[in-house]
Amino acid sequence: MQPHSSVVRPQAVATAGGRGFPSTSPLPSSVPVQSRRRASQRRQTRGPARIPADYVSLGLCDRVCRHCKALFWLEERLRHGTIQFPEYHKCCMGGKVVLRPQLEYPAYMRQLFTNRHFMENIRAYNSMFAMTSIGAQVDDSINRGHGPYVFRISGPIYHRIGSLCPAENDDPRFLQLYIFDMENEVRNRLSHFDSGGRVLRPEIVQGLIHILDEHNELVRIFRTARDMLQAGNIPEFKIRLFSVAGARQYELPAGDSIGAIVYEGGPDTGTEYDIIIHRHAGDPERVSKLHLSYMALQFPLLFIFGEDGFHIGLRLWNAATRSLDEDKKLSMKMYYAYQLRDRFQEYSLLTRGGRLF
């Protein structure tokens, strides 16, 4: 008596050439019939995916802060708030944080942020246009075996900015790509991302060049330096990016308020956190996280206009006097709590940055 087997054995059908192929399926199956039947029964009886019992539905996120228009769920309201008149505190501290409203982005950027290819490669595209690089002390001592590579950092992470022109025989990188060899700018930017199977699109690079040239105040300063270098016969100069915002808490920066081109031998006054960019320099300079352009230099695709970020000159709003309270500083935590909120009828690239955010 043959032992019972639950393995499907495909029957062969004779052909003219004497070769056989399974009659039951294109490929032989080694899955036991009983196992497949049980799996089919489980799929039929399981039904739709069940929500865990400890999950709670909060409904729609459609409640609006009456001060800054940030969107919330009703259950996020303060205890003293009511259903009819909810109060929220995590966005603007009840109206004490008042920052510049978000301006309308170019239509091209809004279109890109719905493009699947762009969003899947947004980190690469941003790195291509970043004006600063990431600095850190990488600890490779852990990579001594045969396992996968581990990227471990010892100490803080910081941003660095280099010189206006590359060293002799070096390719332009980061900030230098805005100044050096403009005839081949698209190719120069793509040349740093031609490995790893990633295929970036030249037409997107060209479109981003146009957008940043037209709208970004930081880029305009560097393009001005480019024009001066191309003109020739000019004194040695450097770029100073100011760290003092003045009265710009509610306004977009203008070119003459965020930086200046300083000639050799001219007046050289500044503040502690100013960024000095020389035509030729040695090691890159570290950028203070308290500099108002810290984020805009590193993430130009999120800060299209070169907007100011957090800086020590920000102050809280006094509702009683309807003016800034010079004695009460706005902290970094308050600043980002305000920025990292979707707002009613306001479009923000910062909250739509995907893998870059």
| pLDDT value of residue 12 | 41
Distance between CA atoms of 186 and 169, rounded to whole angstroms? 19
Residue 142 or 337, more confident: 337
pLDDT at 196: 56
pTM, rounded to two decimals: 0.74
What's the token pair of residue 350? 């910062």
Task: Give me the residue spans of the domains in the chain.
Answer: 103-137+155-312
pLDDT averaged over every residue in the chain: 79
DSSP 88-135: --TTTTTTT---PPPPPPPHHHHHHTT-HHHHHTHHHHHHHH-SSEEE
Stretch (H or E) spanning 317: strand 315-318
Dist. CA 284–CA 176, nearest whole Å: 12
Cβ neighbors of 292 (< 8 A, separation 6 or more) are: 243, 245, 258, 308, 309, 310, 311, 313
Q: Cα–Cα distance between 271 and 119 in angstroms, integer?
A: 38
Residue bearing tokens 């100069």? 237
Please identify which residue in the block is written with the tokens 């006094």: 318
Q: Is 139 helix (H, G, I), strand (E, B) or coil?
A: strand
Which class for 5: exposed (0-12), middle (13-18), buried (19 or more C-beta within 10 A)? exposed
φ, ψ of residue 259 in degrees (nearest 5): -170, 170
What interhelical angle do 202-215 and 217-231 show, nearest 10?
A: 90
Residues 253, 240: Cα–Cα separation, whole Å: 15
Confidence band, pLDDT 50/70/90 cuts, at residue 37: low
- pLDDT value of position 263: 63
CA atoms in the 13 A half-sphere facing the CB of 217:
18
Q: Which two tokens stand for residue 171?
A: 């390719």
pLDDT at 20: 41
Q: Which two tokens stand for residue 194?
A: 């031609």
Mean pLDDT of 78-83: 84
Determine the Cα–Cα distance for residues 91 and 99; give it in Å rounded to an integer. 11
Tokens of 197: 């199977």
Q: What would the mean pLDDT of 118-147 be, rounded to a whole number?
A: 87
Q: Kindly state the tokens that stand for 133.
A: 């690089």
Between 122-129 and 202-215, two packed helices, what is the crossing angle to 10 degrees? 50
- Tens-digit pLDDT profile for residues 241-279: 877 665 455 455 554 556 666 666 555 555 567 777 766
- Tell me the pLDDT band of 11, cut-offs 50, 70 and 90: very low
The H helix count followed by the E strand count for the chain is: 10, 12
Kindly report, residue by residue over 188-211, the tens digit of the pLDDT: 899 888 655 568 999 999 999 999
Place of tokens 């940055």: 353
In contact, 355 and 347? CB cutoff 8 Å:
no
Q: Which residues of 292-314 are buried (b: 16+ CB within 10 A; e: fewer)?
A: bbbbbbbbbbbbbbbbbbbbebb
Question: Is residue 59 predicted with pLDDT exceeding 90?
Answer: no
Task: Give pLDDT, residue 268.
Answer: 55
Find the helix or strand (DSSP H, E) in which 161 lies: strand 152-161
DSSP 257-286: HHEEEEETTS-----TT-EEEESS-SSPEE
Per-residue pLDDT tens digits for 273-310:
777 776 667 678 888 888 889 999 999 999 999 988 99
Asked if residue 34 lies in contact with residue 6, where contact means CB atoms within 8 angstroms, the answer is yes
114 vs 138, higher pLDDT: 114
What pLDDT is stored for residue 38 in this prediction?
58
**Under 8 Å between Cβ of 247 and 286:** no
